[in-house]
């Protein structure tokens, strides 16, 4: 058999032994026929005496026993060889089966290890993604915190500056209102003095009186100039306040502050005016001044 390297042995061991013992005799004669022919041949050559016949029979029996033992040994050896051949065949089949199983197990092991490697790689990628996302979130959070801190500081500085500006404007408004009142009073006094002096000059028609009236008229003109300057400053402050204040800012002002602002804008106010009336008057004057 080509696969095992063991030849098939003949199944008829008796035939093999017979052929080995009597290669020239026919198979149909059997052991007895062969022995008879051998004895007949001997008789033709040697005289048939009692001693020679007994000797021949003994040798024939011995040869027959040896042939029988040889046949049994050959049969046992053939059986042993067949068992060995069967064992080789079985070993070959088992080896092939083990090879197939080993290939299948190896393929399964490769698939399993590849799957495990892929899972580890996926887990590694996912872990790296999570760490990168956490780092990015932390960076964004820090930037946001810095931005919020800077924004709060900027907002606080802006609110403080706005508060200081409003306080300065309110102070300037009050000062302008007082200056306007003083200028109005001085202008009225100067105008009255000038008119009185002019009347006296007309009545007396004297040069000395005219020289006395001239300085008073100059003072009246100076008072009007101061009044005009104060009014211009009030209009300028009003424009600044109207550009920097919203309607909500105006509503948040107190009534005295609105009165001062109205005076700076040249609005005549009355003590009986309420806050809404003052607001309307200030809005109109601010629009005109703008």
CA distance 265 to 237: 8
pTM of the full structure: 0.33
Break the chain down into helix, strand, coil percent, rounded to 5.
Answer: 85, 0, 15
Q: Which residues of the chain have pLDDT under 50?
A: 1-11, 13, 16-17, 20-21, 23-46, 48, 209, 244
Query: Is there a contact between 264 and 180 (Cβ–Cβ < 8 Å)?
Result: yes
Q: Provide the pLDDT for residue 17.
A: 46
- Taking each helix axis as running N to C, give the angle between helix 207-244 and helix 50-204, from 0 to 180 degrees, rounded to the nearest 10: 160
* DSSP result, 145-169: HHHHHHHHHHHHHHHHHHHHHHHHH
Residue-averaged pLDDT of the chain: 74
Q: Provide the pLDDT for residue 125.
A: 94
CA distance 179 to 197: 26
Q: Output the CA angle 28-32-34, nearest 5 degrees.
A: 70
What are the pLDDT digits (tens) for 161-179? Answer: 888 877 877 787 777 777 7
Q: Where are the alpha helices (DSSP H) in 205-272?
A: 207-244, 247-252, 255-264
CA distance 12 to 25: 17
* DSSP result, 113-127: HHHHHHHHHHHHHHH
Q: Provide the pLDDT for residue 226.
A: 53
Q: In the structure, how many helices (H) and strands (E) does the chain have?
A: 7, 0
Query: How many residues in the chain?
Result: 290
Give me 177's structure tokens: 């209102």
Residues whose CB is less than 8 angstroms from the CB of residue 243 and which lie 6 or more positions away in sequence, other chains included: 290
């Amino acid at each position: 058999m080509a696969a095992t390297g063991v030849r098939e042995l003949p199944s008829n061991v008796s035939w093999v032994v017979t052929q080995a013992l009597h290669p020239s005799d026919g198979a149909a004669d059997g052991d007895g026929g062969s022995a008879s022919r051998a004895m007949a041949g001997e008789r033709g050559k040697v005289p048939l005496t009692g001693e020679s016949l007994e000797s021949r029979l003994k040798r024939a029996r011995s040869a027959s026993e040896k042939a029988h033992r040889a046949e049994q040994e050959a049969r046992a050896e053939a059986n042993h060889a067949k068992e060995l051949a069967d064992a080789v065949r079985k070993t070959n089949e088992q080896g092939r089966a083990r090879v197939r199983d080993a290939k299948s197990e190896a393929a399964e092991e490769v698939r399993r290890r590849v799957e495990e490697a892929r899972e580890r790689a996926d887990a590694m990628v996912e872990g790296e993604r999570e760490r990168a996302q956490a780092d990015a979130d932390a960076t964004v959070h820090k930037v946001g915190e810095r931005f919020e801190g800077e924004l709060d500081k900027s907002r606080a500085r802006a609110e403080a500056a706005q508060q200081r500006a409003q306080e300065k404007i309110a102070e300037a408004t009050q000062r302008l209102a007082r200056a306007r009142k003083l200028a109005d009073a001085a202008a009225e006094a100067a105008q009255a003095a000038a008119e009185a002096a002019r009347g006296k000059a007309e009545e007396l028609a004297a040069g000395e009186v005219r020289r006395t009236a001239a300085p008073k008229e100059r003072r009246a003109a100076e008072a009007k100039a101061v009044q005009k300057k104060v009014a211009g400053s009030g209009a300028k402050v009003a424009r600044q306040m109207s550009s920097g204040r919203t309607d909500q800012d105006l509503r948040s002002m107190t009534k005295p502050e609105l009165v001062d602002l109205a005076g700076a804008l040249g609005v005549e106010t009355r003590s009986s005016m309420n806050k809404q009336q003052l607001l309307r008057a200030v809005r109109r004057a601010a629009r005109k001044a703008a």
